[in-house]
Amino acid sequence: MLHLGGLRTALFNYLLARKYGGSFILRIEDTDQKRLVPGATESIIRTLEWAGLRFDEGPGMRGPSGSYLQSQRGDLYRAHAKELLEKGAAYRCFCDSKRLESLRTEATLQGRAPMYDRRCAHLSQQQIDEKLRTGEPYTVRLLTPNAADPAASDISGFDDIVHGEMRFRGPAGFDDAVLLKSDGLPTYHLANVVDDHFMGITHVLRGEEWLMSTPKHRVLFKAFGWPMPRYAHLPLLMNPDGSKLSKRNRDGPMQNYIDEGYLPSALVNYVALLGWHPGGQQEVYSLKELECAFTLSGLSRSKSVVSRERLNWLNRQHLHAELNDPTRTPAIATQALVELRQTPGLDTVDISHETVERALQLCRDRLTLTRDLHSAAPYLFSDPDSEEPAVPAAAINKVPRDSKVSILLAFQELLATETGSAADSSRANSAGPERWMDFSQRVALAAKVPTKQVMPVLRHVLTGQPSGPKLPDLMSYLPLATMQRRAQAALNSKIMKQ
């Protein structure tokens, strides 16, 4: 399943390919059979599609590289492991798991980095042949140069796009890594180097946890005589408390963000700014704008802190923009309608797609997520409790009792003149806000009270809350019958008699 950091890596690779006319390739690294999760490949593809990151080559597509599942490319990896054995750049290791664990334990107790001791690198050909004859299982290990070997200098030093000049000293980066496991499947080291070459990869953008493995990969490229790609190792994503973001964190798995209703455009915008600085003051970007603005020089070596506050701000900006786009509003309304139908206790039988579109437009300045629609304005979908309002009626308590009654009676009378007939009153209110612009003044005039007393009373009657959309906008949304019903309920309530 895709992690937030995985989406960032995919996004930066995608943006690089789009900016410079390259190909964005999705390759599934599924050679570790113990860690395979059923449906994981499909989940990754769905998530990338949700984010708008369309790959040019990948699973389910016929491309020049054959299968894009590494588990189906085993013959290619085994052939190149054999080539390394023939060149003397690799050797067979017959050590069992018990001995390897003993080596790790000993190194840990002595305060050393665990490394294989090359015992099998010194086996004679006769010893190797005998073990093969008896069917003894083995792995294939890379024969890396010793750190003190002058030849190691060219391998250990390289220019990283993010971190600059890198040079590893001592044992770090020079362990004889396993390339082919005893089950015949490759490790990441062999499979990715072989695939990077045959898929024509020119730039490798990946997490900085692979920085220490880069010398091993450079050894492999050199052993095969292949040109090396350029590397950019992206810094880790961190929690606000300074700990590493992981798949077990709420903010780690991508599916959490999708389930919580974040917009793809907002999340992509947010992820792009985790480790990339465009320069200038612009913060809100569409995917197309990111494709044009992205540069490798903007990548930062500093670790990025995952902040829901910043993501929420970006989601508000994108939600507002998409509600201004007639081509996007229907999709936003569909998402909001699905979320409304999941609201406990809310009767959604009569809530139409059109109703939700209008509600979103009415509340767009007050929403962070589409799922906030009901909590931001419950009165758009059900009558407020006139006896026990959600918010104390402090504003209308300042209005004299007789004035409140007069306002409600005038309100009802004027609504009756607007409906025209009982049949009309049950229809959706299709009139625009301009119809209701002077309605408060008309009520005030009919009730013979100041206009400033009318506004809080009508707002309380229609919403049960002291604030919300402008009254003309709200009244253009609510059906006339709904306003009449709420006015009558308020007239009979205790609050209006106080």
Q: Which of 244, 247, 288, 470 is catalytic?
A: 247
Task: State the virtual CA torsion across 197, 199, 203, 209 in degrees, nearest 10.
Answer: -80
CB–CB of 439/475 below 8 Å? yes
* Pairing mode of beta strands 157-160, 203-207: unpaired
Is 247 a catalytic site residue? yes
Q: For 20, left (φ over 0), alpha (ψ -120 to 50), or beta?
A: alpha
**Cα 448 from Cα 457, distance rounded (Å):** 14
Amino acid at 431: A
Q: How many residues does the chain have?
A: 498
Judge residue 16's burial from the number of C-beta atoms within 10 Å of its C-beta, 0-12 exposed, 13-18 middle, 19 or more buried.
Answer: buried
SS3 17: helix
Angle value at C-alpha 212, between 211 and 218, nearest 5 degrees: 85
**Cα 160 from Cα 155, distance rounded (Å):** 13
**Cα 395 from Cα 379, distance rounded (Å):** 18
Query: 206 has which bridge partners?
Result: 233
Alpha-carbon distance values, 300 to 292, 306, 450 (Å): 18, 15, 61
Alpha-carbon distance values, 415 to 432, 442, 449, 480 (Å): 15, 11, 18, 7
Minimal CA–CA distance to 275: which of 321, 228, 208? 208
Tokens read off for 283: 């913060």
Tokens read off for 235: 């810094």
**Cα 359 from Cα 343, distance rounded (Å):** 16
| Residues catalogued as catalytic | 247
